[in-house]
Structure 1
Amino acid sequence: MMGEILFLAHRVPWPPNRGDKIRSHHFLQKLMDCAPVHVACFADDEQERQIGWDRKAELASCEIVVRNKPRWRAGIEALVSGKPVSLTSFENSEINAYVARVIATRPVDCIFVFSGQMAQYIPPDFDGRVVMDFADVDSAKFESYAGEGFGPMAWINRREGRLLSAFEKDVAARADHSLFVSEAEAALFRQRSGLSAGRVKAVGNGIDLEFYAARDVHPEGLKGEGPMILFTGQMDYQPNVQAVQSFSMEVMPEILARFPSARFAIVGRAPSEKVRQLDGQHGTVVVGAVDDIRSWIMAADVVVAPLRIARGIQNKVLEAMAMARPVVASTCAAEGINAINGEHFLIAESVEDEAQLVRDLLADPERARRLGEQAGILIQAQYSWETQLASLPALCGFSAAVVAEAAA
């Protein structure tokens, strides 16, 4: 008899409108095609908790809890308990009760955990399969923050990195498989955990190829202006904030010296105060949220991913490549993407490189067109979700015969 799956996620895995939710959304759908799935997750607010999804009725059960614990309280709980803030922020009695009830009353033989914060809900006495999708090595991200910071925040980030690293190792030792978004992240975690390639695997992100084909989408942009350089992303996320600050203040002056009418458009939800302050400086325009990001990608002359701290695979890069736009990415933003520098995108190793590579593409539209065209061909061939998630059912213990039966 086919068992059931308990799917734990730190955010509601629909709609797929930001990087982590895109990944969790497609993982969930793949697992729903294998077996009945119970979902426990958090919503940022009541509005998100109420958002519908056309496949929600297919779930075996679903528990969505609004996460409203203040950061100061999570910080105090972390100091008192000796836990990472990443865990205390997501501690919740309702989720605990739901997990216990589902495990006690349903034939769950696999727990799939999306994001390390949710691993605390794996019951210690659960004897079924556990698959942990870390996506990125989060502890390494906090170590990077600590290395770049100073004062109290550096201390907080060092503590978080150290405690989270120990927690990640304990979780991975318990899990049957630990998944990461790229082979680079998986290799780093194997080194840190001592676990083998059989236990720590890369399962990459894909792209909704039909959606990004954008046949019925019309380009949008900064009307009547010069060439448009585009950055997309969640704009209250620290690495994205750092990226656009650096590009606006350090790179754009060099570009404007050669292309005075160039504009740098920052497109994405929830721009922080630091991001909003960039508006009007060095050709920078803070657009904020838009109805359809594809229309802005289509209109861009160059898409940039100038991240200084990045882990895993950047969806923003895959999306731009899928739409055949020329991309200039920093070294860490390009990591994990199976593409060739100079053929499918351009990798900048420094701020000076970013300025030069963008200027070169703006000066040679034909080269930019070819670069984008080759990127689109690559994404079509390698980055469908079907291709990327082909191994997921087997990792969760489902044979090809079981998957075929469930789909019938």
Structure 2
Amino acid sequence: MQELLYLVHRIPYPPDKGDKIRSYHLLKHLSQHYRIHLGTFIDDEKDWSYVGKVKDFCDETCFVNLSPKAARLRSLGGLFFRQPLTLPYYRDKGLQAWVNSVLETRSVRNILIFSSGMAQYVSHAGPARRIIDFVDIDSDKWMQYATTKSWPMNWIYRRESRLLLSYEKQVTREFDGAAFVSEAEANLFKRLAPEVATKVTYFNNGVDADYFSPKNIYPNPYTAGTDTLVFTGAMDYWANVDAVDWFARGVLSAIRAHLPDVEFHIVGARPTARVMALATLPGVTVTGSVPDIRPYLAHASLAVAPLRIARGIQNKVLEAMAMEKIVIASPQAMEGLCALPGKELLVANDEDDFAHQIVTLLQSKSHRTMGHAARARVLEDYSWEKGLTRVDALLSQPQIISTDEACPHALQNHFKSARDVA
């Protein structure tokens, strides 16, 4: 087997949140074809218990503890060196020494970098083929954050967006290829960086449709006979926090004015104080970490994805669709998805639209066939096997795979980047 260096900004296990789901499936797939040298950070003490699981996929590993508080302080050094703060956040001398040793003593022909912050470790990697999976356009995400904040944070976020975009362009120029999580994300980056467009491609996230199957029997975690709306996701992620706060404080009250027994369950690990405060509102439950989100999806009346800030593909939407749930999503949560609005899921634009569509659905019990169509879409376009074949081609072929296979169902050109409207 050939040897491959794989650098990931966060341990790729357990696959319980967006980036870990993608990085884990990449690791699992690559381990079937390469001897993996994995370097990664661990930023949650609980994740040290999964080191053995990750080692099973690898020939050699380097795990580095990352304290988020210390990393944030370290990142401030970027302010004095005209660097994006992302780079010092993920900079570690020990990991750099390990990477250097691997490149000097092993026959590494391929390097796969997961997220922009890890590219700094292989800026001088010799003849090895270097591919980066940016996943999302992080620079545009910071610009979205900037539009929601006041000074000085909006200045810091705009600075990070500007410098990180410059760095993303630099990495793409220097590397052999750059991938994103969806065709829409790849095409947006091509517009932002036309000078490197020929090196840009994508591969979709997938869903384990056997695991997220409506045919399995799940215990009901809700009060019997209630109509329940569910949101799933890591509840320390700012975009998710913003989404549930906006929905619970604005949309839910309008729904309960018509249907007073409707409940909203926020299901996900590490809820922040802002999220926990929502549990004091009528009809809102915050579960915190649960051993299995599938019962919460299976027995929910509807799944909601009211994100106002989003990049890439939302796994929460795909998982609910795989479970044959009707999903009501914001346009931002829909971006990049290959799904037909009105047939395979629903899109709501504002508070009134969310409330109206949800009340109509719950009162009429209609559109039940939409769940079947949603799962069919996942089975057709969102298998890991299908997406990861593009990774194999990226690592083995000198040409980058075209992104011209436009999905006829995606709202690919419906959205502008935050940079276009800021």
After TM superposition, is the score higher than 0.5?
yes
Amino acid at match of 2:167: F
Q: 2-side partners of 1:280 and 1:221: how far apart?
A: 19
Q: 2-side partners of 1:14 and 1:141: how far apart?
A: 24
| Structure 2 residue 340 is the aligned partner of structure 1 residue 337 | no
Amino acid at match of 1:262: V
When structure 1 is superposed on structure 2, of 91-100 and 276-285 the one drifting more is 276-285
Partner of 1:209: 209
Partner of 1:107: 107
| Structure 2 residue 61 is the aligned partner of structure 1 residue 51 | no
| Structure 2 residue 385 is the aligned partner of structure 1 residue 386 | yes
- 1:211 alignment partner, SS class: coil
Amino acid at match of 1:158: R
Partner of 2:63: 64
Partner of 1:350: 350
* Cα distance, 1:362–1:214 mapped onto 2, change above 3 Å: closer
Q: By how many angstroms is 1:366 displaced?
A: 3.7
Q: 1-side partners of 2:46 and 2:311: how far apart?
A: 29
Q: 2-side partners of 1:23 and 1:88: how far apart?
A: 24
Partner of 1:402: none
Question: Considering only aligned residues, what root-mean-square deviation do their CA atoms show, in Å?
Answer: 1.7
Amino acid at match of 2:55: K
Q: By how many angstroms is 1:190 displaced?
A: 0.7
Q: 1-side partners of 2:353 and 2:345: how far apart?
A: 13
User: What are the equivalent positions in structure 2 for 1:186-197 lying under 5 Å apart?
Assistant: 186-195=186-195, 197=197
Partner of 1:288: 288
Per-residue displacement from partner, 1:318-361 (whole Å, max 9, x unpaired)?
00000000000000101111110010000112221111111121
Per-residue displacement from partner, 1:64-86 (whole Å, max 9, x unpaired)?
11102615522431222222221
Q: 2-side partners of 1:336 and 1:117: how far apart?
A: 23
Q: 2-side partners of 1:53 and 1:225: how far apart?
A: 43
Q: 2-side partners of 1:42 and 1:75: how far apart?
A: 15
* Cα distance, 1:220–1:117 mapped onto 2, change above 3 Å: farther
User: Where in structure 1 do 4 or more consecutive aligned residues deviate above 3 Å?
Assistant: 52-55, 195-198, 214-217
* Cα distance, 1:55–1:274 mapped onto 2, change above 3 Å: closer
Amino acid at match of 2:229: I
Mapped contact 2:2–2:33 kept (Cα < 8 A): no
Mapped contact 1:323–1:376 kept (Cα < 8 A): yes
Mapped contact 1:225–1:262 kept (Cα < 8 A): no
Amino acid at match of 2:388: L
* Cα distance, 1:123–1:50 mapped onto 2, change above 3 Å: farther
Amino acid at match of 1:383: Y
Q: 2-side partners of 1:52 and 1:205: how far apart?
A: 24
> How many residue pairs get matched?
397
Per-residue displacement from partner, 1:35-75 (whole Å, max 9, x unpaired)?
11100000014431231455623411000111026155224
* Cα distance, 1:196–1:93 mapped onto 2, change above 3 Å: closer
Per-residue displacement from partner, 1:277-305 (whole Å, max 9, x unpaired)?
11131421111111100010001100000
Q: 1-side partners of 2:188 and 2:340: how far apart?
A: 22
- 2:34 alignment partner, SS class: coil
Amino acid at match of 1:78: G
* Cα distance, 1:52–1:65 mapped onto 2, change above 3 Å: closer
**Which consecutive unaligned segments of at least 5 residues does structure 2 have?**
399-422
Partner of 1:34: 33
Partner of 1:249: 249
Mapped contact 1:15–1:53 kept (Cα < 8 A): no
User: What are the equivalent positions in structure 2 for 1:3-402 lying under 5 Å apart?
Assistant: 3-52=2-51, 54=53, 56-68=55-67, 70-195=70-195, 197-213=197-213, 215-224=215-224, 226-367=226-367, 369-397=368-396
Q: 2-side partners of 1:324 and 1:109: how far apart?
A: 42
* Cα distance, 1:79–1:52 mapped onto 2, change above 3 Å: closer
Identical-pair percentage: 39
- 1:6 alignment partner, SS class: strand
Amino acid at match of 1:163: L
Partner of 1:406: none
- 1:209 alignment partner, SS class: coil
Q: 2-side partners of 1:15 and 1:220: how far apart?
A: 24
- 2:210 alignment partner, SS class: helix
